[in-house]
Structure 1
Amino acid sequence: MVQITPVLVFAAAQVLGGAVAVPADYAQHVLLDPQGHSAKDVYTVKDELKKADIIPTVIDDFLPSLLVGAEWPSSKNAALGNTIKPKKLQDEPTITLTQPKSAEGACSSLANLTYTVTLTDPDAPSRDDPKWSEMCHWIATGLATSDDADSSCSSPLTLSLADLDELMPYYPPGPPEKTGKHRYVLFVFVPANGTTDPLHLKKPEDRQHWGYEYDAANFVYSQNKKQ
Structure 2
Amino acid sequence: MPLITSDQATEAALKKDGIIPDVLDSFQSKTLLMVSYGSNKEVALGNTLSVQETQQAPQVSFQAESPSDQYTLFMVDPDAPSRNNPKMREYRHWIVANITGTSDFQPANVAQGAVVSPYMGPAPPAGSGPHRYIFLLYKQTPSTNVSALTTPLAPERQGFKAKQFSSQAHLELVGANYFFAENP
Q: Select 2:61's aligned residue among 91, 96, 99.
A: 96
The answer to whether the aligner puts 1:160 opposite 2:107 as a matched pair is yes
CA distance in 1, matches of 2:105, 2:38: 19
Aligned to 1:124: 80
Identity across matched positions, percent: 31
State the TM-score, normalized to the length of structure 1.
Answer: 0.68
Q: Select 2:176's aligned residue among 201, 212, 217.
A: 217
CA distance in 2, matches of 1:143, 1:58: 25
Cα RMSD of the aligned pairs, angstroms, is 2.2
Listed as ranges, the gaps of 5+ residues in structure 2 are: 167-171
Q: Select 1:203's aligned residue among 131, 152, 156.
A: 152
Aligned to 2:93: 137
Q: Select 2:38's aligned residue among 51, 61, 73.
A: 73
* Higher deviation after alignment, 88-97 or 161-170: 161-170
Aligned to 2:13: 48
Contact map agreement 1:144 1:159 (CA 8 A) in 2 = no
> Alignment partner of 1:66: what SS?
coil
Contact map agreement 1:74 1:88 (CA 8 A) in 2 = no
Contact map agreement 2:63 2:101 (CA 8 A) in 1 = no
Contact map agreement 1:73 1:91 (CA 8 A) in 2 = no
Contact map agreement 1:76 1:84 (CA 8 A) in 2 = yes
CA distance in 2, matches of 1:194, 1:96: 24
> Alignment partner of 1:172: what SS?
coil
- Deviation of 1:165 after TM superposition, in Å, equals 2.4
Aligned pairs for 1:162-201 (under 5 A) are 162=109, 163-193=112-142, 199-200=146-147, 201=149
Contact map agreement 1:124 1:135 (CA 8 A) in 2 = yes
Note closer, same or farther for the CA distance 1:98–1:194 as it changes in structure 2 (3 Å cut): farther
CA distance in 2, matches of 1:168, 1:115: 15
- Aligned partner of 2:180: which letter? Y
> Alignment partner of 1:189: what SS?
strand
- Deviation of 1:75 after TM superposition, in Å, equals 4.3
CA distance in 1, matches of 2:122, 2:66: 30
Larger radius of gyration: 1
State the TM-score, normalized to the length of structure 2.
Answer: 0.83
Contact map agreement 1:111 1:159 (CA 8 A) in 2 = no
CA distance in 2, matches of 1:181, 1:127: 8
The answer to which structure, 1 or 2, has the higher relative contact order (CA under 8 A, 6+ apart) is: 1
Contact map agreement 1:113 1:194 (CA 8 A) in 2 = no
CA distance in 2, matches of 1:39, 1:93: 28
Aligned length: 167
